[in-house]
Amino acid sequence: MIRIFRKIPCKLVYRSEYMTGIHAQNTHRSFDVMRFKKIRDQLIREKLIRHSHILKAPRITDEDLLLVHTREYLNSLRNPLTVGKILNLDYVNPWDEYILEYFRYVSGGTLLATEYALEHKTAVFNLGGGYHHAHPDRGEGFCLINDVAIAIRKMQALQKLNRSLIVDLDYHQGNGNLLYFQNDENIFTFSMHADNWNEVSNKTHNIDIELPAHTQDKLYLDVLTKELPGVFSIFSPDLVFYIAGSDPYIQDSLGDFDLTEKGMLERDKFVYQQIRKHEIPLVILGAGGYGPESWKIYFNFIKWVIKEG
Ligand SMILES: [Zn+2]
């Protein structure tokens, strides 16, 4: 039987190297390195996508990394001891240098997603990325490379992008982007997060909202629906990056927010609709999400976009 797939309203970026991230037999047992593969496999199993809907992430070049990061910092990442320290691994082995390879592919994926979204004026999910804690000269919070900052600088250099909005709903504050774009009027940063990173900034194009532990669906969605729409009346982005961390989910093994699976989908639907109703190209990034249930949050979102978005 020949099955005809209809055109879907988004693309996905993925490749098998996305599974070589921080391995599970160390301090970070909460990392599910298979989470993005599980999403891809389930989408194919349910015949929501086919392989041709998946763009293969390229390995990012040194030249592109240097658009944001210092050469000294990048050189330091060749040492597994340095990488192990940034990632807070409880032991270091020579294989940890492959963790940098993981960041190279996923950051290449964010770059590809950005190019594609701009060119086709559509939404693209990178099944990874959103490393919002990385700074030009140092990494922190599991983030070695700031993929969003690189994608913005690359597209600006190619004169394909001017103004970007970063909507960061990961459980943790997007402090890396906040500081990096502090004096950049072309970048608006919007972040709703817990209090474990709380960089203070006088950035004008910024909304930074701290929420208490055990925040539930109602409070979270009330704040989001009140605060996000106003951004579009004062700022007109050419592209939006949605850092869609699943770590506000109640089952997350690191975060302490209490959002339900339904609440998480409501969050994602609202953000998607706000952006796409203005027909703004959109790049959606996986960011943080820990524990065996994390993958379902992204899957629910992508499934909704394909069926109803
Ligand atoms: Zn996070």
Q: How many CA atoms lie within 13 A of 220 on its CB side?
A: 29
Q: How many Å lie between the centroid of ligand 1 and the Cα of residue 166?
A: 15
**Each residue's pLDDT expressed in tens, for the chain with a length of 309 residues:** 455 456 778 899 999 888 766 554 445 566 777 888 999 999 999 999 988 889 999 999 999 999 999 999 999 988 877 887 777 776 666 555 567 888 999 999 999 999 999 999 999 999 999 999 999 999 998 899 999 999 999 999 999 999 999 999 999 999 999 999 999 999 999 999 999 888 888 899 999 999 999 999 999 999 999 999 999 999 999 999 999 999 999 999 899 999 999 999 999 999 999 999 999 999 999 999 988 899 999 999 999 999 987
Q: How many Å lie between the centroid of ligand 1 and the Cα of residue 61?
A: 26
Q: How many Å lie between the centroid of ligand 1 and the Cα of residue 5?
A: 35
Q: How many Å lie between the centroid of ligand 1 and the Cα of residue 287?
A: 7
Q: How many Å lie between the centroid of ligand 1 and the Cα of residue 288?
A: 4
Can you list the alpha helix ranges (DSSP code H) found in the chain? 35-45, 62-65, 71-76, 80-86, 97-120, 147-157, 175-180, 217-234, 261-276, 294-308
Q: How many CB atoms lie within 10 A of CB 86?
A: 19
Q: What per-residue confidence (pLDDT) applies to 107?
A: 97
Report residue 92 as tokens.
Answer: 């270091």
Q: How many Å lie between the centroid of ligand 1 and the Cα of residue 172?
A: 4
Q: How many Å lie between the centroid of ligand 1 and the Cα of residue 196?
A: 10
Q: How many Å lie between the centroid of ligand 1 and the Cα of residue 199?
A: 15
Q: What per-residue confidence (pLDDT) applies to 25?
A: 44
Q: In the beta sheet, which residues pair with residue 125?
A: 12, 284
Q: Which residue has the tokens 């609709």?
A: 273
Question: Which structural domains are found in the chain, ordered by start?
Answer: 10-308 (3.40.800.20)
Q: What per-residue confidence (pLDDT) applies to 197?
A: 83
Q: How many Å lie between the centroid of ligand 1 and the Cα of residue 1?
A: 44
Q: How many Å lie between the centroid of ligand 1 and the Cα of residue 123?
A: 22
Q: How many Å lie between the centroid of ligand 1 and the Cα of residue 245?
A: 6
Q: What per-residue confidence (pLDDT) applies to 115?
A: 98
Q: How many Å lie between the centroid of ligand 1 and the Cα of residue 133?
A: 9
Q: How many Å lie between the centroid of ligand 1 and the Cα of residue 174?
A: 9
In the three-class reduction of DSSP (H, G, I as helix; E, B as strand; rest coil), residue 300 is classed as helix
